């Protein structure tokens, strides 16, 4: 598997970019979010890649950040969502806005992506909500349980999980916790404050 490529940009023709690595030109399909950050032809770029292998084709997909690649792989795990559709979703929504969209169960925004209907949008939300909560994002992206990955207080995650076990939805629990000014409190105090502010 090709995990990443680093080389010179030979050509750009959205959504395809050709990157030369050690004399070999790789055709790579990228979401527009990546394409906008590629820089000019002739410049160097590092892309995190995913190789899709089918009977009649081998297609390389490239992403400017690890988080984009992670989300792409989560999207194509959903039945009925192929690489092209996943690429369209990541072209329409940034990593942060897509995760927020899943977290807030915003099917209408997701359905605005070309090739995604309301039914598919709802399916994506259902399948990805719990799964994204277990993903380690590198850039402090908000997960579906509302935990910022680079939050230094592990009590925040514990408090969110406790609130959800009490019957609150992920979005509701997140709103209750984020409303608390002091995020350095103990788990018990965070829960107490969250319930008090409800």
Q: How far apart are CA 68 and CA 153, in angstroms?
A: 25
CB 28 within 8 A of CB 18: yes
Question: pTM higher than 0.75, yes or no?
Answer: no
Range with the lowest mean pLDDT among 4-13, 79-88, 167-176? 167-176
Alpha helices in 13-168 (DSSP H): 32-35, 66-76, 83-92, 95-103, 107-110, 118-133, 154-165
Quickly count helices (H) and strands (E) in the chain. Answer: 9, 5
Q: Which residue has the tokens 């990157």?
A: 19
CB of 120 within 8 A of CB of 80? yes
Tens-digit pLDDT profile for residues 28-51: 999 998 988 898 999 999 999 999
Write down the pLDDT at residue 149. Answer: 42
Q: Which of 139, 161, 162, 163 is nearest to 151 (CA)?
A: 139
- Give the closest residue to 145 by CA, choosing from 107, 185, 172: 172
Q: What percent of the chain has pLDDT over 70?
A: 91
Residue listed under structure tokens 């050709």: 18
Q: Show the domains of the chain with their CATH numbers.
A: 4-63 (2.40.50.140), 66-133 (1.10.150.20), 154-197 (1.10.8.10)
Kindly report the backbone phi and psi dihedral angles of residue 21, in degrees, each rounded to the nearest multiple of 5, phi listed first. -125, 115
DSSP structure class, residue 18: E
- Select from 157, 180, 182 the least CA-distant residue to 170: 157
How does residue 146 score in pLDDT terms, banded at 50, 70 and 90? very low
pLDDT at 178: 79
Cα–Cα distances in angstroms (integers) from residue 49 to residues 15, 52, 70, 90, in the given order? 14, 10, 10, 14
Residue 190 host element (H or E)? helix 187-197
| Residues 86, 76 contacting (CB under 8 angstroms) | yes
Which phi and psi angles does 14 have, rounded to 5°? -40, 130
């Amino acid at each position: 598997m090709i995990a990443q490529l680093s080389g010179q940009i030979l050509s750009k023709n959205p959504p395809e970019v050709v990157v030369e690595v050690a004399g070999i030109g790789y055709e790579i399909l990228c979401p527009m979010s990546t394409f906008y950050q590629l820089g000019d032809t002739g410049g160097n770029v590092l892309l995190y890649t995913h190789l899709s292998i089918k009977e009649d084709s081998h297609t390389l997909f490239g992403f400017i950040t690890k988080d984009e690649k992670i989300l792409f792989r989560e999207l194509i795990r959903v039945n009925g969502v192929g690489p092209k559709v996943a690429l369209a979703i990541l072209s329409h929504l940034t990593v942060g806005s897509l995760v927020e969209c899943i977290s807030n169960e915003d099917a209408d925004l997701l359905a605005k992506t070309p090739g995604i209907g309301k039914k598919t949008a709802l399916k994506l939300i259902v399948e990805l909500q719990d799964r994204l909560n277990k993903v380690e994002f590198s850039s402090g992206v908000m997960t579906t349980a509302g935990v910022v990955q680079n939050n230094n207080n592990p009590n925040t995650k514990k408090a969110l999980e406790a609130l959800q076990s009490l019957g609150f939805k992920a979005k509701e629990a997140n709103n209750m916790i984020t409303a608390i000014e002091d995020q350095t409190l103990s788990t018990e105090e965070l829960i107490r404050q969250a319930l008090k502010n409800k």
